[in-house]
Structures are given as structure tokens and as C-alpha cells.
Amino acid sequence: MELEKLTALQLGEKIKQRQVSVLDGVKTVFEQIEKQDSEVHAYLDTYREEAYKRAEEVQKGIEDGTYTSPLAGVPIAIKDNICINGKKTTCASKILENFVPQYNAEVIDRLEKAGLVIIGKTNMDEFAMGSTTETSAYGITRNPWNLEHVPGGSSGGSCAAVAAGETYLALGSDTGGSIRQPSSYCGVTGIKPTYGTVSRYGLVAYASSLDQIGPVGKDVSDCAALLEIIAGHDTKDSTSMKREDLQFSKELTGDIKGMKFGIPEEYLAEGLDPEVKASFMGVLDTLKELGAEVEFFSIKTMEYMIPAYYIIASAEASSNLERFDGVKYGFRAAEYEGLHDMYKKTRTAGFGEEVKRRIMLGSFVLSSGYYDAYYLKALRTKALIKKEFDQAFGKYDVLLAPASPFTAPKIGESLKDPLAMYLGDIYTVAVNLCGLPGITVPCGKDSKGLPIGIQMIGDCFMEKKILRAAHAYETSRGSFAVPGEGGTR
């Protein structure tokens, strides 16, 4: 039995039926990691001994009825900006190279309560700032479909691990597309939930008003099941929402007859790769065949989305990252003269180029004389963008967009031109600015064999609609594909 080809729910069912053990699934994952992670580099750290011990505990818990979740016993990987008690959490940055939190993030407690087995920490762009997982201080992650290409970012390690069979599930974080874009590049499924649906307690902040933890899996059903586990109100997070409608898996009926899908015309304009566009148009045809209504409309604020996002995100980042100064924890420069010199040398050596760039941009837009001209204007623009999306959802159930204007670039290409890298987020940032839920599902491959993903966007708290639509499309498209020739599997 090729266990690595099973989905998370399929593995969970086989464990429940006692056809395989929890340990079998965990061993399968570590075999895949041994076989290929030296090339892919999806992980920064793995917990083999702890995972084997945990597998035995969970096995007993399943047998005695302690763990009843459909995902009990399933291995999961965690992005390295989510705290695990007693385990290094570096955010892929030198400045946190030795930071070991003494508490769990809320999502980790929920995973453990449900009986999942944590395999290790995945690589990411430093402090989640990047779109390629090339800004990590600990080396780049490669795309399992083609090792010369990036996996996307900033949750590239999580998405690459799922695509390569090095885990069944993963958690990522999404600030401007950091789950949805790498899911597209790696040919997996990823969800960014409505802001406030999943607790941010224990997530190292990049931009607090935009960050959201979400699931990455092989298909929509896996992601829905994982979202049910991690979603819910948390008193430790002041932005956490009280919601009653968290039974997402029940919505996966396959029926989308009569659902209305809206496509912003501007999303198909100049800059979209012809192969990505062709694949996108094929999705529209499939949705029509399934009985859905598809219609184009216009979003006038599109040109302001990237500027508003990068001003707000960088402003919040400059504030959030000022705590990393070498005083209480993390890296500290070896030689310095006085407190201010220690700050300067620690931050100069501890932060990478992309992080420094965003801290400087954020500090600038928050500075006296520029606060009104940039930061407040960006906040007003954000409100206008939200208003346009509200109007669109008055008419449509789900909005459709490409997840990225192109497929995964070659390693080294994006970092040559940071502005071009920022513009690559054009289809994803509005979801975070407006606090909306979004999901990426695979919808094809380009001529180089690289995956293409489509993004489905819902109104606030309407995860069920996008999950229903994504599952119906996925079911008609066929099963989850894995990297073949040119990949690592």
C-alpha cells in the first residue's frame, strides 16, 4: 500500500479501521523526507523521536475513544512562525535563531487535542516577507514539481512539503496571499479563512490586521476537516470571532447549481500569463457545466490594492518587529559600544534584506509629515476596496480570480526585482485587506509542467460557499496529482 498517495482523511479512516497504524503514517512521512528533503528543503526542523512517541500515544487514544477526529493520527507540519512549546521558532530569521517559546500557539493546542502528530517546522520567507521562500536565512526551498523553480511564499515550505508527500497536512499563515499563492505554485489546496476565525495567539506577527493562519492539504476535504479543528473563538486573541457555523465538511455536497460566480474583468487584463488565462477560462466552462452562473463585472480599485497593502503591511511590520532588538531573546551582535550601537549592529546583522526594506518603508510611512499622506490614505483606500467587494457580494456568491499572474518563477528571478515580486500579489492582497476568506485549488499545468491554481473568494464568514464551490470543481476535475517527471516523486 502506497500510504504517501493517500489524502489525510483517507489515512485517518484507515487508521480508524485498523488497516494501518498511526506509526505507519508517521514512518511513511519520514521516509519521504529522507528520500527528498535534502533537495526540496521544505523543513527547517523535524521531530522524529517525539513524533514516534506521540504516534504510540495517539494510537492508544484512538483505540480507547479519546481521539475521535477524522484526522486523528495524521501527520502535520507547522510553518516556523507558529510557536510550539520547547521547540525553536525562528521565522526563518537569524535574529530568532535561538528563540525557544515556552508556550503553544492556540492552534497547536487544538491539533494536539484532536490527536494529530506534529512532524516538524517548515521553511518560509523571513518573517513571512516574500513570495518565493528565498528570503529565508536558512536556505531556499525548491518546488517539488521542478527543483529549479520556487515553491512560492511565504508558506512555501508548508506547500512544498504537502506536494512532495513529506506530510499529509500543514499549517501556513496568509498576510497577502502567503497560503494561496504557494498552493497554486505547488499544485496543492490552501485556505485563508475569514480574519478572526482562527486564533493568532502564538503566531509571530508580521502585519497584525492582515495575518491569518490557515490549512494546506492535498484536497478541499482535507482542508475543510483541518479548518474545523483549528477554527473557533479564543479569549487570548482580542481579534478572535465567536462563530457557530464551523461545520465546514457538511457543505461538500458537489452541488453548485444556481450559484453565482463573479469575475472582475481587471483580473484578466494585461500582465496575466496566456497559459494561466487559458486554464482559468477552462474553469469557467466547468462551472457552467455544473449549473453555476458565471458573469464578468468591474472592480475600479484594483490599481490601488498593491500600494495600499504594502503601505499598511510594512507600517505594521515596522511596529511589530521593533521588539527584536537583541535585549531579551534571539540574536545579539558580538561587539558593540553602548545600547544604541547594540541595537543597530544586532538588527543590521540579524535581519535580511527584504525585512530591512519593509521595516524602512513602514517607518517612513509612519513618520511625522508622511503619516497622513501615506498611512492614513492607505487606510481610507482599504475602506474603499472593502466597499467595492461588499457591493460585489450583494450580487455574487463567490468571486473567481487567478491565484498568481504566472506559474512558479525560476529560483533567483524574483529577487532581482522586488517591485515585480510585489506586483505578483495583485490577485491575493485584497482578500487580506478586506478580511475575506479565499481558497486556491489546482486547475491545470503550463507547458513546462508547473501547476496552475484558481482562487475562489467568499464574503466574510462564507467559507462554506467557497469550500462547496471548490469541492464541486475539484470533484469534476479529478483526483489530486503529484509531482512526476522533473519533480521529486
Active site residues: 79, 154, 178
Alpha-carbon span 458 to 195, nearest angstrom: 12
Alpha-carbon span 358 to 375, nearest angstrom: 14
Q: Please report the sign of the dihedral spanned by the C-alpha atoms of residue 406, residue 159, residue 329, residue 108.
A: positive
Alpha-carbon span 486 to 483, nearest angstrom: 8
Q: Give the DSSP H/E element, type plus range, for residue 172.
A: strand 169-174
Nearest to 232 by CA among 224, 243, 248: 243
Whether the CB-CB separation of 204 and 239 falls below 8 Å is answered with no
Whether the CB-CB separation of 8 and 74 falls below 8 Å is answered with yes
Cite the beta strand spans of 299-418 per DSSP E: 398-402
Whether the CB-CB separation of 476 and 286 falls below 8 Å is answered with yes
Using a CB cutoff of 8 Å and minimum separation of 24, what contacts does 50-57 make? 50/118, 51/26, 51/75, 51/117, 51/118, 51/119, 52/23, 52/26, 54/117, 54/118, 55/21, 55/22, 55/23, 55/25, 55/26, 55/117, 56/22, 56/23
Nearest to 399 by CA among 270, 280, 308, 226: 280
Q: Residue 346 contacts by C-beta under 8 Å, 6 or more apart in sequence? A: 95, 325, 326, 331, 332, 333, 336
Whether the CB-CB separation of 176 and 429 falls below 8 Å is answered with yes
